[in-house]
Structure 1
Amino acid sequence: NLADDVGGLKKVLANVSTRGAMGEIQAEQILQSILSPNQYGKNVKTHPDCRGQVEFAIKLPGSDGNLDDPVWLPIDCKFPKEDYERLLDALDEGDKDLIEKAYSKFESNVTNKAKTIRKEYVSAPHTTDFAVMFLPTEGLYADVVRRPGLFEKLQRDCQIVVTGPSTLAAFVNSLQMGFRTLALEASASEVWNVLGAVKTEFVKFGGMMDTLHRQLNTAANTIGGDGKDSVQRRLRAMERKLKDVESIPSSSTNLLEGLNESDND
């Protein structure tokens, strides 16, 4: 029945490792749906002086734009269940003093978790100078944002960006757009080099065409121009000289053949 289902859910949520696994599964599903496997890592040691491994880390291009030597962006999942449940109970009761006490404990818990993430996983230049805390429910994220100044304090003092399921997806999507921009920039540089080579060859081709054009003009003038050395002018002069010479019948052309035979003898 419904009561048994609710009781079973509470038992699941009461187990710290199970809660952590829920957050990890949800975060991994978001990353898998947006990034390719080579764009992020799981259980990554991002801090050279700490033994801990962050649950997820996104690969960002290093100083030379190479992903083989990346800068890591740590993402760690947190679920402050007990303090959050106390806050929800206080909100249900509507007691202002109880709500404020619950909020204070909740804020302290979230802040401590943020400090732990920064201490264990943030290590510039091996990583970005901030990390991401992933809260696996929208309600949990909303209460962090709703608490006046908490979200900003985590960013300013702890260098931690808090995200929920939808905001993590939006955040990773923005990074993916950045990856595409970098890929386009790399492709653009290659295209630019090709265009530069084509331009060089085109200049050479233009020079060859100019030379060919001059040569063709010279040949055309030699054949059909009006210059004194043109073929057409020489041909017309020959025609004028031969104008008064009578042509012999075609049957008499054997005389030429006889001349050829005499030459052979």
Structure 2
Amino acid sequence: MSLFEMILAGLVVVGLVLQLLILLRSGQRHDDDTALVIEDALLQVKQDLQRHQQDTGERIERELRSQVQASAQSTRQELGANFAQLQQTLATQLTSVAGLQNQQIDGFAQQLVKLNESNAQQLESMRQSITLQAQVNREEQAVSLKRFGDTLNQQLSALTESNAQRMAEVRATLEAKIKDLQNDNAQKLEEMRKTVDEKLHATLEQRLGESFKLVSDRLDKVHQGLGEMQQLATGVGDLKRVLTNVKTRGTWGEVQLEILLEQMLTPDQYAKNVETVPASGERVEFAIRLPGAKEDAGQVWMPIDAKFPKEQYERLVDAAERADAEGVATAGRELERAVRGEARTIAEKYLSPPLTTDFAILFLPTEGLYAEVMRRPGLSDELQRTCRVTIAGPSTLSALLNSLQMGFRTLALEKRSSEVWQVLGAVKTEFGKFGEVLASTKSALERVAKNIDQAETRTRQMTRKLKSVEALPVENAQKLLGTGELDLGEEGESV
């Protein structure tokens, strides 16, 4: 290794040391992050020095070998001395560098400690400053809130006083207005009271006069009604005498039955006092005339007889009004016995199929009696089964007669259906002839239309030929040709 190379290596080491010192001085002005960077730089410098020392040692060893091989034994001592001197120099330099590095590291450590202490002091001062500032802000905020509260209280007090004054003024104004209104209302009420008293007095006198007149008229009508009530009582007594007589009571039931038959049927659909069984001499009160099953068959009678067991029914009603259960039961059995007897009599005297229907109708003239009989359990079914007699009241008989009337109408339509078919056949024949007439009329109309088209064609041809001829006025043309005015409207209507 030459002297020049040793000087160059020393300069490199000095440059690195100077850079390290510059970094150390600049590190005093930076924070903890800069100290870390400096430590990394020192470590890098140390590694570079070790690497340079190793390279230098290897290079020196190679040169010494070459000099030992090339040089003679005479130069070996000089080289040994030089090498020893170089080693001593390098050792001295390395020792100084190591000491300087240790001093720099110690300086860095002291600077880091100072920097940490400075940061801690700054943080503490900042914390104290923030705490002091927060305390000052709280005090200022409390003062501001107190000042705002005082101002708000003053404004509220002023507003309350102003509202109180305005309310007092409004109250005084309202009291004055109300007092004036009360005085005005009292005056108007007094005037209205006088007017109402006058009108009420006049109306009261008029109404009292009308009421007395109305009372007088009503009293007259009451006297008339009392007279009518006396006449009605006389009529009720007469009706009671009629109903107490058995013959008259039966006549009353017949009259009611006859009224129903007259209202529901035509006179040729029923008969009165009919001998349904020939040569028996027994005549039923009424019988409905029904047509036979065949066209050549004779008529069939449906017997209807009116019965009114008044005594048994009245005893039943009286016992029910007295709440006499035993009397009700006894009267009910008597009523059932009377109805069964009447049904057997009707079946024996008036039923004779096929001259009559296989059943007859027992007519009860009142709804109350009919309801009481139908209320008896099994009585109606028993009479229909054993005596072939059907119980009917006014409403049920009306429904039955209405059904029969509909049957009569249906039967009449069936009888007239053949006539209807004959009329329809004649209409069909005439309709066929009418179709032939329509066909001939159509052909005639087609011929007429064809003739009219030909006439129109010739008219257009003549008009084209006469286009050059000057037309005369209508009046002159009529005088010349001796024709009258053509009325198209009347012709259209006649067509």
- Choose 1 or 2 for highest CA Rg: 2
SS at match of 1:74: strand
CA distance change for structure 1 residues 5 and 93 in 2, over 3 Å: closer, same or farther? farther
Q: 5 Å matches for 1:47-66?
A: 47-65=277-295
Equivalent pairs: percent with the same residue? 57
Q: 1:142 aligns with which of 348, 371, 383?
A: 371
Shift of 1:188: 2.0
Q: Tell me the residue number matched to 2:262.
A: 32
CA distance change for structure 1 residues 34 and 5 in 2, over 3 Å: closer, same or farther? closer
Report the residue type matching 2:288 in the other structure.
I
SS at match of 2:294: coil
Q: 2:241 aligns with which of 3, 6, 11?
A: 11
Structure 1: gaps of 5 or more residues: 217-265
Shift of 1:199: 4.9
Report the residue type matching 2:264 in the other structure.
I
Shift of 1:209: 10
CA distance change for structure 1 residues 5 and 36 in 2, over 3 Å: closer, same or farther? closer
Q: Tell me the residue number matched to 1:194.
A: 423
Q: 1:177 aligns with which of 406, 428, 433?
A: 406
Shift of 1:3: 7.2
Q: 2:345 aligns with which of 111, 116, 134?
A: 116
Q: 1:164 aligns with which of 390, 393, 398?
A: 393
Q: 1:99 aligns with which of 308, 328, 335?
A: 328
Report the residue type matching 1:40 in the other structure.
Y
Task: Provide the rounded CA distance (Å) in 2 between the counterparts of 1:202 and 1:98.
Answer: 79
What is the TM-score of this pair, normalised by structure 2? 0.40
SS at match of 2:373: helix
Task: Provide the rounded CA distance (Å) in 1 between the counterparts of 2:420 and 2:292.
Answer: 23
Task: Provide the rounded CA distance (Å) in 2 between the counterparts of 1:191 and 1:10.
Answer: 56
Report the residue type matching 1:105 in the other structure.
E
SS at match of 1:55: strand
CA distance change for structure 1 residues 93 and 3 in 2, over 3 Å: closer, same or farther? farther
Shift of 1:14: 1.0
Shift of 1:41: 0.4
Q: Tell me the residue number matched to 1:77.
A: 306
SS at match of 2:358: coil
Deviations 1:195-254 (A, max 9, x none): 3455567679989999x9xxx9xxxxxxxxxxxxxxxxxxxxxxxxxxxxxxxxxxxxxx
Task: Provide the rounded CA distance (Å) in 2 between the counterparts of 1:136 and 1:158.
Answer: 20
Shift of 1:178: 0.5
Is 1:151 aligned with 2:385?
no
Shift of 1:176: 0.5
SS at match of 2:282: coil
Q: 2:354 aligns with which of 125, 133, 143?
A: 125
Task: Provide the rounded CA distance (Å) in 1 between the counterparts of 2:235 and 2:429.
Answer: 75
Runs of 4+ off more than 4 Å: 1-8, 196-210
Q: 1:88 aligns with which of 280, 296, 317?
A: 317
Task: Provide the rounded CA distance (Å) in 2 between the counterparts of 1:65 and 1:173.
Answer: 24
CA distance change for structure 1 residues 192 and 102 in 2, over 3 Å: closer, same or farther? same
Task: Provide the rounded CA distance (Å) in 2 between the counterparts of 1:183 and 1:128.
Answer: 20
SS at match of 1:91: helix
Deviations 1:123-153 (A, max 9, x none): 1111000111111111111111111111111
Shift of 1:34: 1.4
Task: Provide the rounded CA distance (Å) in 2 between the counterparts of 1:65 and 1:25.
Answer: 34
Is 1:41 aligned with 2:295?
no
SS at match of 2:370: helix
Shift of 1:115: 0.6
SS at match of 1:76: strand
Task: Provide the rounded CA distance (Å) in 2 between the counterparts of 1:126 and 1:30.
Answer: 24
Report the residue type matching 1:178 in the other structure.
G
Task: Provide the rounded CA distance (Å) in 2 between the counterparts of 1:152 and 1:20.
Answer: 25
Task: Provide the rounded CA distance (Å) in 2 between the counterparts of 1:53 and 1:164.
Answer: 22
Task: Provide the rounded CA distance (Å) in 1 between the counterparts of 2:238 and 2:259.
Answer: 24
Task: Provide the rounded CA distance (Å) in 1 between the counterparts of 2:238 and 2:265.
Answer: 34
Deviations 1:43-101 (A, max 9, x none): 000012521100000100013247x9310011101011111111111211222222112
Deviations 1:161-215 (A, max 9, x none): 11111211111111011000111112223212333455567679989999x9xxx
Bigger helix share: 2
SS at match of 1:58: strand
Report the residue type matching 1:47 in the other structure.
V
SS at match of 2:273: strand
Shift of 1:38: 0.8
